[in-house]
Structure 1
Amino acid sequence: MKPVNFLFFVIIFFSQPVFADLIKGDLTPGGLIHAFLPPNSSATLNGKNIFVASDGLLVFGFGRNAKKRQILVVKTADGKIKHRSFQLKPRKYLVQRIDGLPKNMVTPPQAYWARIKHEAKILNTVRRLTSKRRDFLNGFIWPVKGRVSGVYGSQRILNGKPSRPHSGIDIAAPQGTLIRAAASGKILLSHPGMFYTGKTIVIDHGCGVSTIYIHLSKTVIREGQEVKKGAIIGEVGETGRATGPHLHWGLTWNGVNLDPSLVVRSDE
């Protein structure tokens, strides 16, 4: 995971002993952050409880539309409360307009709506699970080598109707290219074929952090299986709603879609 780029923020925000002596991540929409507080602390971000382990490990992330100003409140075991606010580095997202598409390319036929709703519930549930694992602390690698054909946060406007912003990154690669686990973890989901995502894998990396791999042509793991970083989990395909062979790779913290490109180096 990349070290935070805002040294000034780190010096000011974490100079007091009550806060972390080490913080990693990107203070920008899509960023995944972790730090260490005094043991048995608790914390809220913008008024919502966030995960803090008994030894002080703090984990949180910022969604695509996260507010620029963030407020973190930490309560230590001795009852002391500290408030700090900070600013996120803004991002610009690509917007693409496509007109003249057939209606079924914009809105799925009604016959599939119940299925889509059921599958969305499955994904939402598994991507909000929290475990005591800490595999994400050991960093991530690219699951596939290839051309990045779709970036996090981008959005298409189809026939004048805004679609959901892109929740991860797309990596174009030939059909059958091997896909590797971006980090060690436990397989939460190995689905044989969803309407939108096709063959789908979700891996738990601990503390609410998970990765998702979709449009696969083949999966070679099972739910509940432990995998190591770099282990082969499937092959690139174009199952589900896809326009060519590629891997959609996503990163999530407690159901919030983050930018996976921020947790890997370009040479990994």
Structure 2
Amino acid sequence: MRIGAGILLAALLLFGLPAAAFELAGNAVQGGMMIGRTAPGTPVTVDGKPVRVSPDGMFVFGFGRDHGESVILTVGNRVETIDVARRDYEIQRIDGLPPKMVTPPEDVLARIRRENAEIARVRALDTDASHFGQDWIWPSVGTVTGVFGSQRVLNGEPRRPHFGIDIAAPAGSDVVAPTDGVVRMAEADLYFTGGTVMLDHGHGVTSVYSHLSKVSVEVGRSVRQGEKIGEVGSTGRSTGAHLDWRVNWFTERLDPGLLAGPMPETR
């Protein structure tokens, strides 16, 4: 069976498994996340790779910025092809950055590699929490100045795409957890992202909050949705006060805007 791409897949009941088989909902589009439920203990794979299934039967997977046109989802003895909708991305030009932040000097490359390795370690975590299944909220309220997937041109030089959402807000304003989670990184000064917090929401879903002027949590602490984790700033590679918010499913970069919905006017 083939499931067409779309913004929301209705509950899909697959019969022939031990208890009414599974429900699947989410965004079948590049940058989207899908959440499923099946009978506890049912094995699930995505493109042949096993994914964690919680004791109550919940599982999750996502599609990166440049994901291909489909994935193969296997739940128990049923195999489905899910079509993934393509997106068109903007080109964003940012000028006025210090040259060392566009092309880092040789003497900081070792530091950058160490920091990137720690970020990759956190993104590889596969814990048993299922906080990703909550309704997400925005971690900061402000003007969206950078969107997911946009091709970045820094000081006139093409660079990697932007994998998050930039929210311009007053320096010092609160940044809160969009869902429950566990703090896995709390750094005051990373080279590119400055003050940085990473939260683990379970099953490989992590979120990142960058350029913070203040980090208000420590590694290992559990936080609840809406709890303060830091303050908006302009640390690292930044030209003004804003929050860079990112969400990942392991190595796949997801669009936070698809999770949180429209930006609220007030907290």
Paired residue secondary structure (1:163)? strand
Match of 1:201 in 2: 197
Within the alignment, does 1:143 sit opposite 2:139 as a pair? yes
Query: What is the aligned-residue RMSD (CA, Å)?
Result: 2.3
Return closer, same or farther for 1:134/1:68 CA change in 2, 3 Å cut-off.
Answer: same
One of 102, 113, 122 as aligned partner of 1:117: 113
| Cα contact 2:131–2:201 (8 A) shared by 1 | yes
**Deviation for aligned residue 1:21:** 4.1
Match of 2:59 in 1: 58
Match of 1:28 in 2: 29
Match of 1:94 in 2: 90
Normalising to structure 2: TM-score of the pair?
0.88
Within the alignment, does 1:192 sit opposite 2:194 as a pair? no
Looking at structure 1, the residues matched to 235 and 13 of structure 2 have their Cα atoms a distance apart, in angstroms, of 46
Return closer, same or farther for 1:171/1:158 CA change in 2, 3 Å cut-off.
Answer: closer
Return closer, same or farther for 1:6/1:204 CA change in 2, 3 Å cut-off.
Answer: closer
Within the alignment, does 1:71 sit opposite 2:72 as a pair? yes
Within the alignment, does 1:83 sit opposite 2:83 as a pair? no
Paired residue secondary structure (1:28)? coil
Paired residue secondary structure (2:160)? coil
| Cα contact 1:190–1:200 (8 A) shared by 2 | yes
Match of 1:107 in 2: 103
Return closer, same or farther for 1:100/1:242 CA change in 2, 3 Å cut-off.
Answer: closer
**Deviation for aligned residue 1:126:** 0.8
| Cα contact 1:187–1:203 (8 A) shared by 2 | yes
Match of 2:256 in 1: 260
**Deviation for aligned residue 1:252:** 1.1
One of 4, 7, 22 as aligned partner of 1:5: 7
Match of 2:3 in 1: none
Looking at structure 1, the residues matched to 37 and 112 of structure 2 have their Cα atoms a distance apart, in angstroms, of 39
Residue identity opposite 2:15 in structure 1: Q
Paired residue secondary structure (2:45)? strand
Return closer, same or farther for 1:17/1:55 CA change in 2, 3 Å cut-off.
Answer: farther
Return closer, same or farther for 1:90/1:245 CA change in 2, 3 Å cut-off.
Answer: same
| Cα contact 1:237–1:247 (8 A) shared by 2 | yes
Match of 1:47 in 2: 48
Within the alignment, does 1:162 sit opposite 2:158 as a pair? yes
Deviates more, 1:81-90 or 1:148-157: 81-90
Q: Please, which runs of 5 or more residues in structure 1 have no aligned partner?
A: none
| Cα contact 2:97–2:237 (8 A) shared by 1 | no
Residue identity opposite 1:230 in structure 2: G
| Cα contact 1:20–1:35 (8 A) shared by 2 | no
Residue identity opposite 1:221 in structure 2: V
**Deviation for aligned residue 1:189:** 0.8
**Deviation for aligned residue 1:195:** 0.2
Normalising to structure 1: TM-score of the pair?
0.87
**Deviation for aligned residue 1:43:** 2.2
| Cα contact 2:165–2:256 (8 A) shared by 1 | yes
Q: Please, which runs of 5 or more residues in structure 2 have no aligned partner?
A: 1-5
Match of 1:221 in 2: 217
Q: Percent identity?
A: 41
Residue identity opposite 2:46 in structure 1: L
Q: Cα deviations across residues 45-73 of structure 1 (Å, max 9, x unaligned)?
A: 22322222344322101101111122112
| Cα contact 1:51–1:60 (8 A) shared by 2 | no
Match of 1:128 in 2: 124
| Cα contact 1:169–1:261 (8 A) shared by 2 | yes
Looking at structure 2, the residues matched to 188 and 112 of structure 1 have their Cα atoms a distance apart, in angstroms, of 24
Paired residue secondary structure (1:22)? strand
Residue identity opposite 2:47 in structure 1: N
**Deviation for aligned residue 1:98:** 6.9
Residue identity opposite 1:253 in structure 2: W
